[in-house]
Amino acid sequence: MNAMTMIELGIAIIILIGTIVGFLSAIGFLRLPDVYNRAHALSKSATLGVLCVLVGTFLVFLFVEGYFSIKLFLGIFFVFLTSPVSSHVICRAAYRSHVSLAEISVRDDLKEAIIENNKETEDM
Amino acid sequence: MAIQVLANLLIGLLWVFFQDDWSVLTFFSGYLFGLLVIFILRRFLPTKFYLFNLHAMIKLLFLFIVEIVVSSFVVIGIIIRPKMNIKPGIFSMETTLKGDIEVTLLALLITLTPGSVVVEISQDNKIFYIHTMDIPDLSNSVLQSKDRFENAIKKVTR
């Protein structure tokens, strides 16, 4: 087995891991009870899956084609930067539009804080 | 600090215009030239020269990558458990960081730690409201790693 086959095998394994992680996060999306828990599955596992696939593609271009792809590099950077922000914004919008937490939830500190905040603004 | 990076990018872009050669390599050499200009002018700038923080920045980036990998596997572990006995909920956490950039970075890092998403930040930027998948275990791990994150962020921004 020469060096090139080894590199290709490694890249294939990275992309396979990315696919499996993406698949598992899709299962989590179906199994978890409410929008907040589903955001966990999407914000982390899906990000890792997409990152693995992109890194694998980047390595294919670098080693097999011998070409440093700036676009893929930018793609990795932006996926990494935007996925936590989007999950935060989705959760916040859901809470603001009164989507209730799942039945099994045990604690909600934010509810009291929002009630107090509303009182203060009414007083002023 | 953001102004310095922006000025540096602008110098790099100007360099591409002057050379009339639209390639990444030209932009890169222009960027290096811009670094030199900003380094010479550092006495007249209100904040520290931003490359002095490079080491801390790389450490922070490394922390980000480690956190995302670890948290993905924790979340996947919860997902593939045959009987899903989780106790989700929202808890509050206070922070000592000040300013928009520091609070944003901490919120990003917390969102990347296992099973926690920042839902809301109070008006005065002091209290985070964090949703976790499993209150007893994961809220403790967030509170423990909070100090580590705050120190790493302070090294970059101060």
Based on the fold, state whether residues B62 and B90 are members of the same structural domain.
yes
Residue where one domain finishes, among candidates B32, B47, B62: B47
Based on the fold, state whether residues B72 and B59 are members of the same structural domain.
yes
pLDDT digits (tens, 9 = 90+) for A50-75: 888 998 998 888 888 877 778 888 88
pLDDT digits (tens, 9 = 90+) for A18-58: 999 888 888 888 888 888 888 877 777 778 888 889 989 98
- Number of domains forming the structure of chain A: 1
Based on the fold, state whether residues B82 and B146 are members of the same structural domain.
yes
Based on the fold, state whether residues B42 and B81 are members of the same structural domain.
no
- Return the pLDDT at A16: 94
Q: For residue B101, give every residue at least 6 positions away whose Cβ sits within 8 Å of its Cβ, in sequence order, or none.
A: B2, B157
Domain holding A107, by residue range, is: 3-123
Based on the fold, state whether residues B81 and B143 are members of the same structural domain.
yes
Distance CA A28, CA A41 (A): 6
Based on the fold, state whether residues B121 and B107 are members of the same structural domain.
yes
Q: Residues B29, B43: contact at Cβ < 8 Å?
A: no
Q: For residue B156, give every residue at least 6 positions away whose Cβ sits within 8 Å of its Cβ, in sequence order, or none.
A: B53, B56, B57, B60, B105
Any idea which of A104-113, B72-81, B89-98, B149-158 has the lowest mean pLDDT? A104-113
Domain holding B13, by residue range, is: 2-47
pLDDT digits (tens, 9 = 90+) for B88-129: 888 888 888 888 888 888 888 888 776 778 888 887 778 888
DSSP calls for B33-55: HHHHHHHHGGGGSSS--GGGGHH
Based on the fold, state whether residues B6 and B61 are members of the same structural domain.
no
Contacts of B87 in chain A (CB under 8 A): 104-106
- Return the pLDDT at A15: 93
Based on the fold, state whether residues B83 and B121 are members of the same structural domain.
yes
Cβ–Cβ gap A37/B86 under 8 Å? yes
Of A24, A87, A105, the CB nearest to B88: A105
Based on the fold, state whether residues B128 and B152 are members of the same structural domain.
yes
Based on the fold, state whether residues B66 and B29 are members of the same structural domain.
no
What B135-142 contacts at long range (C-beta under 8 Å, 24+ apart), as own/partner pairs, is: B135/A106, B135/A107, B135/B87, B135/B88, B135/B89, B135/B91, B136/B87, B138/B114, B139/B91, B141/B113, B141/B114, B142/B93, B142/B110, B142/B113, B142/B116
Q: Residues A15, A48: contact at Cβ < 8 Å?
A: no
Based on the fold, state whether residues B137 and B68 are members of the same structural domain.
yes
- Return the pLDDT at A1: 65
Cβ–Cβ gap B79/A33 under 8 Å? no
Of A21, A85, A102, the CB nearest to B72: A21
Based on the fold, state whether residues B149 and B74 are members of the same structural domain.
yes
Q: For residue A103, give every residue at least 6 positions away whose Cβ sits within 8 Å of its Cβ, in sequence order, or none.
A: A33
Residue where one domain finishes, among candidates B47, B64, B82: B47
Label residue B45 by pLDDT band (50, 70, 90): confident
A–B: how many Cβ contacts below 8 A? 115
- Return the pLDDT at A121: 66
- Return the pLDDT at A123: 62
